[in-house]
Amino acid sequence: MKNILVVGAGGQIGSELVPYLRKIYGNEHVVAADINSSACIHLAEEGPFEELDALKADRYLEIVKKYRIDTIFNLVALLSATGEKKPQLAWHVNMGALMNSLEIARENSCAVFTPSSIGAFGPTSPLDNTPQDTVMRPTTIYGICKVTGELLSDYYFLKYGVDTRSVRFPGIISNVTLPGGGTTDYAVEIFYGAVQHKHYVCPLPEGTYLDMMYMPDALDACVQLMEADPSKLKHRNSFNVTAMSFEPSQVYSAIRRRIPDFTMEYSVDPVKKAIADSWPNYMDDSCARQEWGWSPKWNLETMTDDMLRAIGEKMKKGLLG
Ligand code: AKB
């Protein structure tokens, strides 16, 4: 990776991936692009930024040529819960951005990273220790986009030799940019609830296990996979990766051990519950471990310490609304 373009840079992953990549590859070599320039003020101060609607192929191509891009991180996506409210829009945006990324990559010899998700699985997948290669019949539009995206990315590799690579991310927990419209968002919001209000109303019921990962591990996964020796990759689109699996009362207890007066109640969102019930409880990520050395560093305890510290600091500085 020499000249990198991150499309959808203002989102939860992009806002941390851009600075992480810039530290490794140099500020000038990592271009941030997003439809919403106001979400990218910090990114634009530290390195190149371009306003881009990823559905506009001509403008996308112009940026790739201008910066001689060789690697694209396509992070544009409407997440699972939003997708269920606006399925046609989710398909249009998620597949449109991917198709443009793949076509531009094909014409300009770029590698492409597009995150897939635990949402690519469905209720007929084995939900415990979900294998790398198994039944994938998701019942959400988000999952349908993810499976289609995986197949399309493999197709571009097999047919055109485009270097496409991807991971199936679990819920990602971070303290810089809030996620929006996802089913796993509760696992981020609970930390803000604990620090700001000492209370949280959880939209998923007790017992709903889902895979999760702390952002530093997610950033490592992106770089490690894109830097992996291609001759070692038996899979490409897409690798199961996970760092931990928990259900709401476990993260609540972890926080309560540090903030004893923190309280939580449940007010179950039936749409989110149905989505979460159709997703794995925990995935088997041994292929990622074997093929490119995936090894997460954070667990629920260490992540809880770090999340509460970081959000506490933001609150002291008056940075929380
Ligand atoms: C969502 O909840 O939609 C995402 C995901 C797991 O892909 N965070």
For the chain, list the strands marked E by DSSP: 4-7, 30-34, 49-51, 71-74, 111-113, 116-117, 128-130, 164-165, 167-169, 171-173, 199-202, 210-214, 239-240, 244-246, 263-266, 282-283
**DSSP-based three-state secondary structure for 113:** strand
Is the distance from the beta carbon of residue 242 to the nearest atom of ligand 1 less than 6 Å?
no
Report, as an integer, the average pLDDT of 287-295.
98
Q: How far apart are the first and last CA of the chain?
A: 37
Per-residue model confidence (pLDDT) at position 266: 98
pLDDT at residue 321 tops 80: no
- Residues 1, 227: Cα–Cα separation, whole Å: 8
Per-residue model confidence (pLDDT) at position 241: 98
Q: Which two tokens stand for residue 11?
A: 């989102």
| Average pLDDT of every residue of the chain | 97
Q: Which residues belong to CATH 3.40.50.720 in the chain?
A: 4-170+214-240, 171-212+243-316
Which alpha helices (DSSP H) does the chain contain, by range?
Answer: 14-25, 41-46, 57-66, 80-85, 87-108, 141-160, 186-197, 215-227, 248-256, 270-277, 286-292, 300-316
Q: 13 alpha carbon to ligand 1 midpoint, in Å?
A: 12
Closest CA to 76 of 58, 97, 107: 97
Mutate to test the pocket of ligand 1, among 76, 78, 141, 142 (most ligand atoms within 8 A of CB): 142
Per-residue model confidence (pLDDT) at position 270: 97
- Residues 257, 85: Cα–Cα separation, whole Å: 36
Question: Residue 269 carries which DSSP code?
Answer: -
| Residues listed for the chain | 321
- Residue 137 burial (CB count, 10 A): 14
Task: Indicate which atom in ligand 1 lies nearest the CA of residue 210.
Answer: 6
Q: Which two tokens stand for residue 212?
A: 């999760």
Per-residue model confidence (pLDDT) at position 178: 92
Is the distance from the beta carbon of residue 166 to the nearest atom of ligand 1 less than 6 Å?
no
- Residues 302, 249: Cα–Cα separation, whole Å: 17
pLDDT tens by residue, 82-97: 999 999 999 999 999 9
Question: Residue 111 carries which DSSP code?
Answer: E
Per-residue model confidence (pLDDT) at position 104: 98
Q: 66 alpha carbon to ligand 1 midpoint, in Å?
A: 33
Residue 317's pLDDT band (cuts 50, 70, 90): very high
Per-residue model confidence (pLDDT) at position 126: 98
pLDDT tens by residue, 158-189: 999 999 999 999 999 999 999 989 999 999 99
Mutate to test the pocket of ligand 1, among 80, 86, 146 (most ligand atoms within 8 A of CB): 80
pLDDT at residue 63 tops 80: yes
- What is the pTM for the complete model shown? 0.97
Report, as an integer, the average pLDDT of 11-29.
98
Is the distance from the beta carbon of residue 145 to the nearest atom of ligand 1 less than 6 Å?
no
pLDDT at residue 293 tops 90: yes
For 142-166, give one letter per residue: b (16+ CB within 10 A) or e.
bbbbbbbbbebbbebbeeeebbbbb
Q: Is 161 left (phi over 0), alpha (psi -120 to 50) or beta?
A: left
Per-residue model confidence (pLDDT) at position 150: 98
Is the distance from the beta carbon of residue 80 to the nearest atom of ligand 1 less than 6 Å?
yes
Q: 65 alpha carbon to ligand 1 midpoint, in Å?
A: 32
Sign of torsion over alpha carbons 60, 117, 271, 91: positive
- Residues 130, 232: Cα–Cα separation, whole Å: 22
Instruction: For residue 200, indicate whether it is catalytic.
Output: no
pLDDT tens by residue, 197-247: 999 999 999 999 999 999 999 999 999 999 999 999 999 999 999 999 999
Secondary-structure class of domain 171-212+243-316 per CATH = alpha beta
Mutate to test the pocket of ligand 1, among 78, 116, 118, 177 (most ligand atoms within 8 A of CB): 118
pLDDT at residue 139 tops 80: yes
As a CATH number, domain 4-170+214-240 is 3.40.50.720
The number of angstroms, rounded, from the C-alpha of 255 to the middle of its chain's C-alpha atoms is: 23
Q: Residue 12 corresponds to which amino acid?
A: Q
The active-site residue, picked from 20, 60, 67, 142, is 142
Percent of the chain past pLDDT 70, that is, above it, reads 100
